[in-house]
Structure 1
Amino acid sequence: MRTQETFPVTPGARLAAARIASVDALRGFSLLGILVVNIAFLASGYRMAGLAEPAFDSSLDWGVRWVVTLFLENKFYLLFSFLFGYSFTLQVGSAERQGRPFGPMFLRRLAGLFLLGLAHAVLLFPGDILTTYAAVGLALLIFRRIRPRTAVLLAVALTLLLALGFVLLAVLAMTGLDMSGTVADGSAEAAASDTALGGGFWQIVSEHLRKLSLIIVLRVLFQGPAVLAACLIGLAVGKLGVLGDLSRHTGTLRKLQWTGFTAGLAGAFFYTLSAWSGAVGKFWGEAVDLVTAPLLAAAYGATFLRLLPHLPRLGRLLAAPGRMALSNYLAQSLICSLIFTGYGLALVDQVSPALEVLMALGIFALQVVYSRWWLKRHRYGPVEWLLRFLTYWRKPAARA
C-alpha cells in the first residue's frame, strides 16, 4: 500500500516509498491545475469555441482569464502526460519483477482506458484526454525499449514539427483560409452550444458528439503528438531513475527552473496575448506555446519536487487525490456537468471566471477529503480498481 504514513523497514524500501509518494503528490498537483483550466470549458460553450463569455466583461473577469491562460493553460496536462510516461516505466518494471508478460496486460489496460475515455467524452466532456492516452500508450508500448537520449530527441522533434504545423496554419489563415467547420466558428456556434448543453440528456449527448466530430482531426494531428512528446520525456526520466533520488539532481532541477521561468513564462505571455486575437494570432501563439509550455511545466514540476521535502503535510494532502487521479478526473467532469449542464442546475454561461476558479478550488478540496477517507478503507480508487481488474483480468484486493 502506497502511503507516507506507513514506513517500510529497509532504507531501499523507504526510498522507493518516498519516490512513489512524491509522484502521487505531483500527480495531485497536476490534477488541480487541470481542473482550474477545464472548468471554464465545462461551464460555457463560448470557451470551448475559443471565445470569452460575453456576459462577463469586467476587469476582474479578464484578469482571471489572463492569469489562468498565462500560468495554467496547456501546462498541467503536459505535466500529467509526463507522469503517464513515467508511470509506464514503473508498470514495466513491476511486470518484470513478477515475471508477467507485460504486453497483453498493458493492452487490456489501454482498452479499458479508451472505453472510459469514450464514455467520458460522449456523456460529460468532449475535451476528454483519456482516449488520447490510450492511443499514446500504444506508441509507448512500441518504444518501451528506446534509449533515454533517443526518447528525448524524439520528443523534441515531435514538438518542433507540431510548432511548424501551427506556423503553417497561421500562414494559411493570413492568406484567407476559411476557418469554418471548426469548433471556433464564433458567437453563433457558442450560443447554440449553450442552448444544447442546458437542455435534456439527448441534447447534451448530441452536442458532445458534434463537438467531437469537429475537434477529432485537431486532436489526432496536434494534441496526440504533444502528449506523446511529454510521455517520452517521462519515459526517459523513468528509465534513468531520476525521481528515485532527487538530491543527486538538484543542479538539473535548478536549470529547469531558470529555463522554465524565463523562456517558459515569456512564451506563455505571448500565447496569452494571442489567445484572444483571432485565428491568425491564436495559431502563432500555439506555435510558440508548443515549444515553451513544456519548459514552464518542467519548471513547475522541478519547483514542486524541490519544495515537497519542506512541506510534508501538503505532500500528504496532494498524494491522496493523486493516488486515485483517474477517479477524481472523471468525478470533476461529473460534478461540473451537474452544475453547468441540463443534467443538473444548467448554469451554463452563468458563472463568472472568478467564481469558476473558486468552485474549482472547492471541488478539489472536497476531493482531497474524500480521497483520504476512501484510501483509509480501500487500496485503490473506484475507477482504478476497475481498470486494474481489466488489466490483470482478476478481482483486485479491495480493502486497504
Structure 2
Amino acid sequence: MRTQETLPVTPSTRLAAARIASVDALRGFSLLGILVVNIAFLASGYRMAGLAEPAFDSSLDWVVRWLVTLFMENKFYLLFSFLFGYSFTLQVDSAKRQGRPFVPMFLRRLAGLFLLGLAHAVLLFPGDILTTYAAVGLALLILRRIGPRTAVVLAVLLTLLLALGFVLLALLAMAGLDTTGTVTDGAAEAARSDTALGGVFWQIVGEHVRKLSLIIVTRVFFQGPAVLAACLIGMAVGKLGALRDLSAHTGTLRRLQWTGFTVGLAGAFFYTLSAWHGTVHKFWGEAVDLVTAPLLAAAYAATFLRVLPYMPRIARALAAPGRMALSNYLAQSLICSLIFTGYGMALIDRVSPPLEVAIGAGIFVAQVLYSHRWLKRHRYGPVEWLLRFLTYWRRPGQPSR
C-alpha cells in the first residue's frame, strides 16, 4: 500500500505486514483449490449432473477424479468461507478506527457482492458462491457482537444439524423413498446441458438459469448454512486475534493437523466412495463429509500457515492472486467459459479429467503472473476496486469528506 511507505518500520508493523501477507497467501492457495474443483463442473454437463463423463473412462481419468474428490472437493470453498468471516472482523475494526458507520457500508458491499454473483451465475457459472456470501454476510452482520465461544458453538450446531438432515434423507431413501435423479435421468440431463452450453449466447444463459432453478433449494438449505458455519469460525479466529502471532498457537495448529489428517481424511475417503462407486449411499457420504471436511480444511490451513515462513517465494507468489481473489475467481469462470462453452471453443465434455487439472494449473500460474504485474501499478484488483467504490460510495483512494 502506498500510504505505508511513509510509516516507520517497527516490529509491530512488520508483524502486521506478515500477518496480512500470510492471509493473502492462504486466500491464493484456496483460490487454486477452488479452480481445480470447479473446472470439472465448468467443463462437463455430466459432472454438473453428478456423473462421470462417459467419454473418459481410463484408469488415469479415474485416479484424477478420485484424487480431486478426496483431497479437494468441499474443502477449499470452506477455507475461502473461513477467510470471509475472518476478513469481516478486519472490516469491523477498520470502520471503528476510522470512525465510519459500519452497517450501511457493509450492506452496500453485500449488495455489490450479490449483483456480481448474480451476473456470474447467469452468464458464466451457476455454481457461483458470491450470492451465498452476500446472504451469509447478513447473518454475520446480525451476529457480529457475539463472542468467539458462541460463534464456535453456533458453527458446530449448524454443522451437526446439516449432517443430521442428510442422515434423515439416507434413512428415508433406505425405507424406499424415491429420491429421483437416477443414472438414466442424470445422463439425459447431462446430454441436454451439453447441447445448450455448446450453443449460442442465449442458449447458454438459459441453461444457467435453468440450473439455478434446480439447485436453489440445495443452495439455501445446505450450502448456505455450511458456508455460515465456516464464516463463524473465521469470525471467532478474527475476534481472538489468533492469526496475529501464529507462533503462540503452535500446539493448536498441530492438533488441527493431527485431527484433520486422520479423522478428516477418513471422512473424505468415505465421501469419495459414496460419490463415485456407490458402495455407500450418497446421503451417508454427504452427512459424514459435512462433519469431517471442515477438519481436513483446517488441517490444510494449519499446515500451510506453519510451513509458509520457510517458503517466502511461494508466499509472495500466492499473496498477489490472494489480494485480488475476487477478480481472479470471476476471471477463472470467464476463461473456462471461453474454453468449454459456445462463448469460445465449445469443448464441453471433450477434455479429460487430467487435462482439466492441467488447464486449471496453467490458468492459475497465469493469474499469479498477471496479479503481480497488475499490483505493481494498481492498489486493488479491478473487481475489488469496483466493490470498494460501492462500499464507500466514492473512488478508492479519494479522501473522505
**Shorter-chain TM-score: which interval?**
over 0.9
Query: 1:277 Cα deviation (Å)?
Result: 4.1
Tell me the residue number matched to 1:19: 19
Alpha-carbon distance in structure 1 between the residues aligned to 2:385 and 2:330:
14
CA contact (8 A) 1:3 1:21 kept: no
| One-letter amino acid of the counterpart of residue 40, structure 1 | A
The 1:185/1:103 distance shift into structure 2, 3 A limit, reads: farther
Tell me the residue number matched to 1:85: 85
Alpha-carbon distance in structure 2 between the residues aligned to 1:351 and 1:3:
47
CA contact (8 A) 2:121 2:127 kept: yes
Tell me the residue number matched to 2:395: 395
Alpha-carbon distance in structure 2 between the residues aligned to 1:4 and 1:276:
51
Query: 1:9 Cα deviation (Å)?
Result: 0.8
The 1:4/1:322 distance shift into structure 2, 3 A limit, reads: farther
The 1:28/1:217 distance shift into structure 2, 3 A limit, reads: same
Query: 1:282 Cα deviation (Å)?
Result: 1.3
Alpha-carbon distance in structure 2 between the residues aligned to 1:182 and 1:118:
30
Query: 1:178 Cα deviation (Å)?
Result: 2.8
The 1:241/1:159 distance shift into structure 2, 3 A limit, reads: same
Tell me the residue number matched to 1:58: 58
Tell me the residue number matched to 2:179: 179
CA contact (8 A) 2:273 2:280 kept: no
The alignment-based identity, stated in percent, is: 86
Alpha-carbon distance in structure 2 between the residues aligned to 1:309 and 1:233:
24
Tell me the residue number matched to 1:205: 205
Tell me the residue number matched to 2:112: 112
Aligned residues: CA RMSD: 1.9
Q: TM-score, normalised by structure 1?
A: 0.97
CA contact (8 A) 1:49 1:185 kept: no
Alpha-carbon distance in structure 2 between the residues aligned to 1:163 and 1:351:
34
Structure 1: stretches of 5+ with no match in the other structure: none
The 1:48/1:241 distance shift into structure 2, 3 A limit, reads: same
Q: Deviations over 1:267-293 (max 9, x none)?
A: 000000000245972111010000000
Query: 1:179 Cα deviation (Å)?
Result: 3.0
Query: 1:74 Cα deviation (Å)?
Result: 0.2
Query: 1:298 Cα deviation (Å)?
Result: 0.2
Matched, 1:31 2:31: yes
Alpha-carbon distance in structure 1 between the residues aligned to 2:223 and 2:371:
29
Alpha-carbon distance in structure 2 between the residues aligned to 1:380 and 1:215:
33
The 1:176/1:185 distance shift into structure 2, 3 A limit, reads: farther
CA contact (8 A) 1:25 1:315 kept: yes
Matched, 1:161 2:158: no
Alpha-carbon distance in structure 1 between the residues aligned to 2:286 and 2:173:
14
Matched, 1:135 2:129: no
Alpha-carbon distance in structure 2 between the residues aligned to 1:154 and 1:183:
37
| One-letter amino acid of the counterpart of residue 343, structure 2 | Y
Figure out how many residues of one structure are paired with residues of the other and give that number. 398
- What secondary structure, in the 3-state scheme, does the structure 2 residue paired with 1:376 have? helix
Alpha-carbon distance in structure 2 between the residues aligned to 1:311 and 1:60:
31
| One-letter amino acid of the counterpart of residue 220, structure 1 | V
- What secondary structure, in the 3-state scheme, does the structure 1 residue paired with 2:281 have? helix
Query: 1:186 Cα deviation (Å)?
Result: 1.1
CA contact (8 A) 1:170 1:279 kept: no
| One-letter amino acid of the counterpart of residue 341, structure 1 | T
Extract structure 1 runs of 4+ deviating beyond 6 A: 2-7, 181-184
Structure 2: stretches of 5+ with no match in the other structure: none
The 1:182/1:143 distance shift into structure 2, 3 A limit, reads: farther
CA contact (8 A) 2:273 2:279 kept: no
Alpha-carbon distance in structure 2 between the residues aligned to 1:147 and 1:287:
28
The 1:184/1:385 distance shift into structure 2, 3 A limit, reads: farther
Matched, 1:75 2:75: yes
| One-letter amino acid of the counterpart of residue 130, structure 2 | L
| One-letter amino acid of the counterpart of residue 352, structure 1 | S
